[in-house]
Chains A and B, each alone.
Chain A
Amino acid sequence: MIKTENVSYVYQPSTPFESAALKGASLEIEDGSLTAVIGHTGSGKSTLIQLMCALLKPTSGRILIDGEDITAKGADLRAVHRKVGLVFQYPEHQLFEDTVYKDIAFGPKNMGLDEKEIDERVRESARVVGLKEKHLDRSPFDLSGGQKRRAAIAGVLAMNPKVLILDEPTAGLDPKGRDDILGIIKTLHKMRSDMIIIFVSHSMEDVAKTAENVIVMNDGGVEMHCSVAEAFTHAERLQEIGLNVPQITLLTDRLRSAGIKLPEHIYTVDYAAKAIAGLVKGGDGDV
């Protein structure tokens, strides 16, 4: 379980460029949950997740992972890095080895695992992200954009973290690429039942499609932390803080106000399709 207690973070304190990115965030994230973090640009999403993997030290407040205070003096940060895997935004920009295999092996190697174990983990995580055997011996710079991203994600997965955090994993990909990455996240969630997965996203559609819970950030604070379904019951508030409700929700809301008897809070296309199909067949729209 990840627990943050009133965590604040100030960038470049006591300079003219001082900026408070996080202002007292308190959260609890359960084991095995799949949580999305959403919020407008500059709302502190990246800051929050970097604090969770001890890459930044909070200005005030505490962060506990499985009850262990990672912000305490003398905390073993390397152990935290092993436990919490972070995939940065545009992770493909951090590839550096001459083959994909070696790049994925970088993390496990740093953990001091033996050759056999490393080999197993590299192949396993490559398989999970959908990279083929033949890709492993290629240079990472010869892969396509989407494949590079997969390789980079595999590099973090190979460390077998208890918590996996991804910062905007779908940024800069085409719709197909986005769905692929979101699919990988879902598969992982099913495969590893006790792994905490957190991903940052800009798109309510992606959140609706993939996550179970959502953390809505606004201006350095936690605005909501609830199930995705519940978040969409506050559609107005979401729009107020600059977030786009999925198109399909807007559409069905308008249909409903035009007198068509659709259920409230539809936020995926699949669900809407079923509801409308039901209506056409002569039901009352409930699915």
Chain B
Amino acid sequence: MFKDITIGQYIPGSSPLHKMYPALKIILTIAYIVVLFFLHKPLSYAAFFVFTAALILISGVSVKIILKGIRPMLWILIFTALINLFMTQGETVFSIPLWAFSINISREGIVLAATMTVRLLFLIVGASLLTLTTSPLQLTDGIEKLLKPLRPLKVPSYEIAMMMTIAIRFIPTLAEETDKIIKAQTARGADFETGNILRRAKAMVPILVPLFVSAFRRADELATAMEARCYNGGGKRTRMKETRMKKLDAAAIAVFLLCCGILAVLEYALKI
């Protein structure tokens, strides 16, 4: 069960999206999300949908995997939609009578609920496209490059990147370990599913203790291994695979700006 987590999963490939300069990809993903919050008209969203669909197509990642990434967020989506639907004041479209009082649903509420849901959906798709097409190592490389200008301000960009690399590296290992421990304790008759909250919390002890012990053991082993290889931090280290900006990245910026231009025209210049 713990092995099925897809958030942050990387699907190897050789699409232009996979080959882009990681730092640029991160910036463009952030820009993609920012642009999203400037859009209000349905027509702009339609265009945005077309751009996103094109991106998915280019990435070569199957739609099924992207949809799978949305599924865990479903409740958040529904919750956001409902809150916006019921809590927004404005011109009442219809009301649901409920004993003594009634719930009013306003036109503004409907519009807001729809926009927020659509925005969140695009946000999830955009963020998952980034992680699906960028290996964890490239991702940290990108973050390190982005943080580098902050080095004079004593931001330890290299160390942050190293910590992230290690953390990301150990997610699958710990997930596997958790899976194994749960199975082992289940085989010894442990029960995680019944009882009240207190009982269930107590039932987690046989999982958490071994998990922490193993995490500390691994950390210790890793530290020893790194020391044995004379690791001593610092930004002067070079990488085995240096990433550089290429023609492809210039093209990506151009395409992105073009799309922004089209969206701007649709959103602000066109009067429909």
- A-B complex is real: yes
- Is B90 located at the chain interface by the 8 A CB criterion? no
CA distance A84 to B188 in the complex (A): 10
Return the CB mask of A94-119 against B: 1 if under 8 Å, else 0: 11100000000011001100000000
- Is B242 located at the chain interface by the 8 A CB criterion? no
Task: Tell me whether B210 and A106 are in contact (CB under 8 A).
Answer: no
Rounded to whole Å, the gap between the CB of B214 and the closest CB of chain A is: 6
Task: Tell me whether A106 and B183 are in contact (CB under 8 A).
Answer: no
Closest to B12 in A: A16
Rounded to whole Å, the gap between the CB of A256 and the closest CB of chain B is: 45
Residues of A within 8 A of B264 (CB): none
Q: Which of the residues A55, A88, A111 comes within 8 Å of B189, measured between beta carbons?
A: A111
Given the interface pairs A55-B183, A96-B205, A96-B206, the reply to whether A159 lies near B188 with Cβ below 8 Å is: yes
Given the interface pairs A12-B3, A15-B65, A16-B11, the reply to whether A95 lies near B210 with Cβ below 8 Å is: yes
- Is B184 located at the chain interface by the 8 A CB criterion? yes
Task: Tell me whether B184 and A110 are in contact (CB under 8 A).
Answer: no
- Is A220 located at the chain interface by the 8 A CB criterion? no
CA distance A14 to B62 in the complex (A): 11
Majority SS of interface residues in chain B?
helix
Residues of B within 8 A of A88 (CB): 180, 183-184, 187
Residues of B within 8 A of A86 (CB): 184, 187
CA distance A88 to B183 in the complex (A): 9
Q: Which of the residues A12, A14, A156 comes within 8 Å of B188, measured between beta carbons?
A: A156
Task: Tell me whether B189 and A94 are in contact (CB under 8 A).
Answer: no
CA distance A81 to B3 in the complex (A): 22
CA distance A95 to B181 in the complex (A): 10
CA distance A15 to B65 in the complex (A): 8
Q: Which of the residues A15, A50, A82, A96 comes within 8 Å of B210, measured between beta carbons?
A: A96
Rounded to whole Å, the gap between the CB of A198 and the closest CB of chain B is: 14
Residues of A within 8 A of B (CB): 11-12, 14-16, 50, 53, 55, 78, 81-82, 84-86, 88, 91, 93-96, 106-107, 110-111, 141, 155-156, 159
